[in-house]
Structure 1
Amino acid sequence: MPESITAVEIIRQSHQGISIKPFIVRGDDGASYFVKGLEKAGGPALISEVIGAELGKRMGLPIPDWKLMHVPNELISFSAIPNVTDLGGGLAFASRAVENASDFSVSNINHTPIDLRRRVLLFDLWVRNGDRCLSERGGNVNLILDGSGSLTVIDHNMAFDRAFCCNDFMETHVFRDCRSFFRDLVVRQEHMEILSDAVKNWGTITSLLPDDWLFRDRDQIDLTEPTVAERLEMLEVFKDERFWGEL
């Protein structure tokens, strides 16, 4: 398990997020983080965050560094911030805050490097993340721009969705216009290798997950939905031609 940090100040609850609104928390390393607690998010969502962040980074996506964060009970008890008890329940997922961040909008799409747009589309299809929607009418895009205007990819608590619908995904994804790129067989082969390399160290990735996210009792039976084993089965569909046919 990775070394954890400890919360020293709960600053406020973020306005970002639809299903789970994280808290902005300062850690004992001096940095600020967007933090999701086990009490509110639940183990499966936090597992999706870690696996999504780790796989995305291995694909070369600009995903903020993350850490496990211990939020002391006394820090929660003495806080007057609404909903602060959502941070309880055990180790929390903490994504490092991006300084001077701004919202990503439709006007930013064409200013984003084409290769990065393609990789984000492929990544979201691969991990079954339908939570990257954007159109002229708005949406929940889970992308931000850093201080220099470069893309940052965030929020993967909705990944590994058993009810994932590829047709809906392709109609609403922010980078849906990139799908034709993957119809080239040479391109498919190149990206199949990228996905293979990303998932190669699956055991290393899953070793980062705290037991209290995974197990509900002392028998240590994985009762999360989906289980870690089922998540790996979902990912391994990239070896099947039908997966690439969805693009």
Structure 2
Amino acid sequence: MPESITAVEIIRQSHQGISIKPFIVRGDDGAPYFVKGLEKAGGPALISEVLGAELGIRLGLPIPDWKLMRVPNELIAFSAIPNVTDLGGGLAFASRAVENASDFSVSNIDRTPVDLRRRVLLFDLWVRNGDRCLGELGGNVNLILDSSGSLSVIDHNMAFDRTFSGTDLMETHVFRECRSFFRDLVVRQEHMEILSKAVGDWGTITALLPDDWLYRDSDNIDLTEPTVAERLEMLEVFKEERFWGEL
């Protein structure tokens, strides 16, 4: 279990997020975080956040630091912020806020390093995250820029989606124009090794998950949907031709 921090101030609910609107909360380390609580998000979504963050970091993606956060019941009880009880239920997932962040738009695509675009596209296919869509009419891109224009990759609560379609992803993904890069067999082999190394840390990564997110019963049976074991099976599809054929 990683070291957790404790919430000391619930600032407000964020406007960001479609399925789950996080809260901006200050931790006892003095830093602000975007926080999703177990009560609202549920264990499977928070598991997806941790797995997405840890796997993304291993692929070299710029993912904000995250922590497990304890939100004291009395802090929730004395807050007048609407929906604040969504933060209850146990340990929350806290993603460190990027200071002076701005939204990512179509005009930012060409300013993003091409290698980073390729890795984001591969990552989203790998973890079955269809939640990075952007076109001329907008979309839900889950990318933000810091004050210097550097990219941060956020929000993976929708990853490991059983209904995910790689074909649909390639039609809507913000970096879909990069897909042809992976048709080169040498490039493919290089990236298979990167994914294999990341999966090799699976035990270390899953040890970060709190038991109360896994909805374990008295027999310690993983009752989440999908289970942690099923998520690993999803990831290991990268070893098969059908995975790369979707790029």
Q: Same fold by TM (over 0.5)?
A: yes
Could you tell me the TM-score, scaled by structure 2's length?
A: 0.99
Shift of 1:219: 2.1
The residue type equivalent to 1:144 in the other structure is: I
CA distance in 2, matches of 1:101, 1:189: 35
CA distance in 1, matches of 2:50, 2:119: 18
Shift of 1:197: 1.0
Shift of 1:241: 1.1
Shift of 1:198: 1.2
Q: CA offsets, 1:135-194, max 9 Å, x none? A: 000000000001110110000000000000111111000000000000000000000011
Could you tell me the TM-score, scaled by structure 1's length?
A: 0.99
Matches within 5 A, 1:1-247: 1-247=1-247
Does the residue aligned with 1:21 lie in a helix, a strand or coil? coil
CA distance in 2, matches of 1:208, 1:231: 15
CA distance in 2, matches of 1:197, 1:115: 19
Aligned residues: 247
Does the residue aligned with 2:109 lie in a helix, a strand or coil? helix
Shift of 1:218: 2.4
Taking only the aligned residue pairs, the percentage that are identical comes to 89
The residue type equivalent to 1:5 in the other structure is: I
The residue type equivalent to 1:83 in the other structure is: N
CA distance in 1, matches of 2:219, 2:92: 22
CA distance in 1, matches of 2:168, 2:214: 30
Does the residue aligned with 1:119 lie in a helix, a strand or coil? helix
Q: CA offsets, 1:192-222, max 9 Å, x none? A: 0111111111000000000000024222210
> Which blocks of at least 5 consecutive residues in structure 2 are unaligned?
none
Q: CA offsets, 1:4-54, max 9 Å, x none? A: 000000000000000000000000000000000000000000000000000
Q: What value does the CA root-mean-square deviation take over the aligned residues?
A: 0.6
The residue type equivalent to 1:116 in the other structure is: L
> Which blocks of at least 5 consecutive residues in structure 1 are unaligned?
none
